[in-house]
Structure 1
Amino acid sequence: MASTEYNPAVEKETSTVPNTTGADLNGANPAVQRYDYGGNPLYHAHTGNDSRLAAFGGEFQPGLYKSTEHRKFANPAPLGLSAFALTTFVLSLVNLNTRGVVEPNIAVSVAYGYGGLIQLLAGMWEMAVGNTFGATALSSYGGFWISYAIILTPAFNVLGAYSESPASDTPSVLGFFLIGWFIFTFILLILTLRSTVMFFSLFLTLDLAFFFLAVSEFAGSNGNATASLGLQKAGGVFGLLAAFLAWYNAFAGIADTSNSFFIIPVFHFPWSEKGRENRAKTARETV
């Protein structure tokens, strides 16, 4: 006859392991279901009563967040970062005049379908999980790519009136457009100072890309074609760096032991919450 003696270890185990049958072993109340947020390796970071999540590039969560416990939401940040990365990669190669390509029209389809639409959707999903920073950044850059594609679409003829003026104002208005995005990106850059090195580096290189491309347009409007081309290529270099850093952060948010043989580091700043936590753990281990 089996023993009915109370065993706290058994109780602890059955209370924490998800029960996919909807009921416990005795057919009584169902166990609380825990969700893994689409395989996100950091899903456990959302449990508990903490009101602040330590900044991490893959999570795109450098600020306050609303707990997503018991909700079936995956992490939308890697999708948005990947959409941004590919579109930026293609346009930056054109800005560098790679293999003699100088016309940016190839970026139109990617800007509409991936960098624009998909990134905008990822931003809205960031809104759903309560991440204001991620929603603002991804949705805004999705809007950037859509608006840039509109500029390059002949049917809209956005630059037509400027190109027909006696002294073409096209470079100047494009400079206005790009310098505005430089200012916006600088604001986001400040908000990443307590996150990770890789996340901060993404916004730093992107901000420099916008700056050099804007100044390139202004130099072109002044008639200095040589300086304009050099500044454009500088913007292309920083754009490529931003693209690869976006892919890096996206990988950091997707990879876990179920799909990757290694996990890449994101290098928390020493003054960030996670950095202070790591230092405190190290100090305890050395005592």
Structure 2
Amino acid sequence: MATNQEHTTQANNAVNGENSHAKDFETATRGMSHEEKTAAQHAARFGYGPLAHMRTNNEATLPAFGGEFQPGLYKGVEGRKFANPAPLGLCAFALTTFVLSLINLGTRGVHANNIIISLAFGYGGLVQLLAGMWDMAVGNTFGATALSSYGGFWISFAIILTPGGFNIEAGTIAAQDEKALLDSLGFFLMGWFIFTFLLLICTLKSTVAFFLLFFTLDLAFLMLGLSFLCLNDGAPSVGLTRAGGAFGILAAFLAWYNALAGIADTSNSFFIIPVAHFPWSEKGKQVRSENSDHNV
């Protein structure tokens, strides 16, 4: 009986062929235990391990993977000179959003958001912006656009909140009144709501976790934007602010979930983060087709 090392060698030979197809996977893993075959499938699916470079005749059947922050067709990692920068950007976004959302919810009676200035400049801003630039280097247009933009969002938000130096809040009130400042913040957040909606459209053929991240984030921007535009006794609406905080908490945990999906693989984890594909996606259609063939 062949050893596991021999099976791995066969798998490598199969995937390195110019005309590799999905059938090569079955041939390469024949004789492996169920656990070994499952690990090999995860490796081929997520771009890690000896089967990472497998190709089929139709790359649209390979999974869109939120952990790569790439909602389009699956793109292998061969030839990549960088590690996957998306989890870093997702974590930077998640932590900053998490803390601000807790404040928006009024958790433990905290309403002052000064602590966000440090996070928005250092982690959610600078680190996420760097992750977006590195996503540009690895050819991920969506990831580069999203991460860099949200890095810019946190830096610009920190600039608004910084007392003294930029004088945005006090200057706006001095030039007009406090309502003008609140309206301006509403315009600012509604603009980000529109931008996030555009990104949301690009996730409709991706995975459920990836879509939900942008869906909850879009609702958070909408609720927070409306809270500044729909004033209650001259102040931002408490109900809308808390709704924005609740959706922000959901977005933060979904960002962490997608980040973990991009970090965890068979080399460092005993389990792979499940990826739920939409039934209308190419991968979803393939799975339904395979299940139909098995039931015949």
Shared fold by TM > 0.5? Answer: yes
Give the aligned residue type for 2:194: I
Q: CA separation in 2, counterparts of 1:96 and 1:203?
A: 20
Query: CA separation of 1:45/1:210 partners in 2, compared to 1, >3 Å: closer, same or farther?
Result: farther
TM-score by length of 1: 0.81
1:178 to 171, 186, 189: 189
Q: CA separation in 2, counterparts of 1:212 and 1:148?
A: 17
Q: CA separation in 1, counterparts of 2:133 and 2:177?
A: 41
Query: CA separation of 1:10/1:157 partners in 2, compared to 1, >3 Å: closer, same or farther?
Result: closer
Deviation at 1:190, TM superposition (A): 0.7
Matched with 2:172 is 162
Task: Identify the range of structure 1 (41-50 vs 271-280) with the bigger mean alpha-carbon deviation.
Answer: 41-50
Matched with 2:253 is 244
Q: CA separation in 2, counterparts of 1:192 and 1:75?
A: 19
Deviation at 1:286, TM superposition (A): 2.7
Contact kept? 1:78, 1:253, Cα under 8 Å: yes
Deviation at 1:285, TM superposition (A): 2.7
Q: CA separation in 1, counterparts of 2:195 and 2:81?
A: 32
Q: CA separation in 2, counterparts of 1:170 and 1:10?
A: 63
2:47 to 24, 28, 42: 42
Matched with 1:198 is 209
Matched with 1:29 is none
Structure with greater Cα Rg: 1
Task: Identify the range of structure 1 (99-108 vs 255-264) with the bigger mean alpha-carbon deviation.
Answer: 255-264
Contact kept? 1:77, 1:126, Cα under 8 Å: yes
Report the 3-state secondary structure (helix = DSSP H, G, I; strand = E; otherwise coil) of the residue aligned with 2:155: helix
Contact kept? 2:65, 2:74, Cα under 8 Å: no
Instruction: Report 1:200-279 matches (<5 A).
Output: 200-220=211-231, 223-225=233-235, 228-279=237-288
CA deviation map 1:17-62 (0-9, x unaligned)? 99xxxxxxxxxxxxxxxxxxxxx95335555376655312112121
TM-score by length of 2: 0.79
1:135 to 134, 144, 156: 144
Contact kept? 1:182, 1:210, Cα under 8 Å: yes
Query: CA separation of 1:228/1:133 partners in 2, compared to 1, >3 Å: closer, same or farther?
Result: same
Matched with 2:92 is 83
Q: CA separation in 2, counterparts of 1:173 and 1:11?
A: 62
Runs of 4+ in structure 1 off by over 3 angstroms are: 9-18, 43-54, 64-68, 222-225
Query: CA separation of 1:67/1:42 partners in 2, compared to 1, >3 Å: closer, same or farther?
Result: closer
1:73 to 61, 65, 82: 82
Contact kept? 2:86, 2:143, Cα under 8 Å: yes
Deviation at 1:195, TM superposition (A): 0.3
Give the aligned residue type for 2:250: L
Identity %: 66
Query: CA separation of 1:45/1:178 partners in 2, compared to 1, >3 Å: closer, same or farther?
Result: farther
Unaligned runs of 5+ in 1: 1-8, 19-39
Q: CA separation in 2, counterparts of 1:14 and 1:250?
A: 28
Matched with 2:26 is none
Unaligned runs of 5+ in 2: 1-6, 17-44
Report the 3-state secondary structure (helix = DSSP H, G, I; strand = E; otherwise coil) of the residue aligned with 1:270: coil
Contact kept? 2:15, 2:55, Cα under 8 Å: no
Once superposed, what is the RMSD of the aligned Cα atoms? 2.7
